[in-house]
Amino acid sequence: MKNYIFLLLLACLSSCTNEYYTEDITENKGGHEYIITKYGAIGDGENDCSTIINKLIEDLPPSGGVIVIPEGDFVLDSPIIVNKSFVTIRGLNTGMRSNIDVVDIHKLLGPGGGSKLILRRANTAILIPIMPNLGGLKNRISGVEIKDLMISGGASNNGIGIDVKYDNDRCRISNLIGINLNYGIRVKSADAMMIQDSWICEVQNSIEMTDGIQNMISNCQLGAQPSGITCKLVNQTNFLFTNNHIYPDGSNNLVLDNCEKINVTNNNFKSYYVGMLDINGNHNLVNGNIFWLADIFKNQLMGYNEDYGVIRVAGNFNMLSSNIVVCNWNNLSIDPVTVYSLAGKGNSFANLLIENQNSTRVFLVNESAKIYNCVPVDKIKIERDENVNLE
């Protein structure tokens, strides 16, 4: 009888837990999965959900697990802290895409469906913090995935969507919408990170990645605002930036700062300002892209002089090849520069199709630059002497 009562109590306790074992059909493997509403989170746009989500992550086993954000407006008063490996945070879908999808801005948080994380008092939605070393070695975070949800700063730009402050390996971000944020994604020290299939626009800065190797941004739509930069890569090596749409209105579309061996391929860039692409580094390849300086009514020079350039290249042995460059210069620009490259050596420009060649300085380059099949010789201005290799 005692054994029967004990087993009955044990069964009751087991039935009270909300943890369940589920199969991820797409991966064909199982794992611990937690739906946050089963633990008290309410997606009403009013109640803070960060404490509940952080407790679920804290209780995950070393093998990790999946935190599920169902449809709803889940408010955050503090960041979601991911301080262990193999954690997935996923929604059901991203819901609405943009501010322009909502007629009344005051109803921004309501319609559209989707799984939404909304910053209120939190300065960051999802944070990978600085971790203490283990045995004198860095305790890298591995295998974190964030996907299928929206992160919003609220009714106006506020905070950071995803902030990765520590060394990490094979983290993935996909099908993410970022809106009304100061930074959509900000990452440090990533190894083999993939950011893909995401829409991060109507933010101050879309993506900033510092100190990384073997990372990739692909198949994304990115856009920033005039005092921000759409995508900034700093101290990156072996990076792939491919198949992206870069929209206005950032002051720069893409900045490569002290980067090496970056492959920028098959992207569409549109901007209202000079400095659309700004490269500082070595052995970078820019191939098969479209660059469009649009809207003659904008302040295209942004306070710079006409020498500044739409595409700027500094460093050594960079190659730009088979790109289309369309510049709709306004009447304020008399003799503007399209391609500027005065610092470094061995930079090569081949088969650039540049539509507007009214300027006498379509290219402003130094004497070591190599220009093949781009513009007539009289459209090239050479600094110091005329030893440019023209073919």
Indicate if the alpha-carbon torsion angle 61, 62, 66, 69 is positive or negative.
positive
Least confident of 97-101, 124-128, 327-331, 365-369: 97-101
User: What is the SS3 assignment for 86?
Assistant: coil
Q: Are 231 and 201 in contact (CB under 8 A)?
A: no
Least confident of 61-70, 106-115, 142-151, 291-300: 106-115
| pLDDT tens digits along 299-333 | 899 889 999 999 999 999 999 999 999 999 988 78
- 23: pLDDT strictly greater than 50: no
CATH 2.160.20.10 matches 17-203 = yes
* E strands present in 14-77: 20-24, 29-35, 44-48, 65-69, 72-76
Residue 178 confidence (pLDDT): 95
| pLDDT tens digits along 193-209 | 999 999 999 999 999 99
At 132, list the tokens.
């203490």
Q: Beta strand pairing status for 87-91 and 145-152? A: parallel
Residue 139 confidence (pLDDT): 84
What is the rounded average pLDDT of the residues 170-199? 97
For 356, list phi and psi in degrees, rounded to 5.
Answer: -90, 110
Indicate if the alpha-carbon torsion angle 130, 241, 143, 50 is positive or negative.
positive
- 242: pLDDT strictly greater than 70: yes
For tokens 């099949």, the residue is 373
State what percent of residues in the chain have pLDDT above 70.
86
At 181, list the tokens.
């944020």
Least confident of 60-74, 150-164, 167-181, 290-304: 290-304
Q: Are 207 and 231 in contact (CB under 8 A)?
A: yes
CB atoms within 10 A of CB 213: 16
Is the pTM for the entire model greater than 0.85?
yes
Q: Which residues, listed in sequence order, are joined to residue 141 by a DSSP beta bridge?
A: 168
For 133, list phi and psi in degrees, rounded to 5.
Answer: -70, 155
For residue 19, name the pLDDT band (cuts at 50, 70, 90). Answer: very low
Alpha carbon distance 254, 222 (integer Å): 10
Alpha carbon distance 340, 355 (integer Å): 16
- What are the residues whose beta carbons fall under 8 Å from the beta carbon of 236, sequence distance 6 or more? 209, 211, 212, 213, 215, 256, 259, 260, 262
Extents of the domains making up the chain: 17-203
Q: Are 170 and 212 in contact (CB under 8 A)?
A: no
What is the rounded average pLDDT of the residues 330-338? 89
At 133, list the tokens.
């070393």
What is the rounded average pLDDT of the residues 246-260? 96
Least confident of 98-107, 266-275, 340-349: 98-107
Mean pLDDT of the chain: 88
At 63, list the tokens.
């093998």
Q: Are 303 and 274 in contact (CB under 8 A)?
A: no
Nearest Cα neighbor of 190 from 132, 147, 223, 237 is 237
For residue 104, name the pLDDT band (cuts at 50, 70, 90). Answer: low
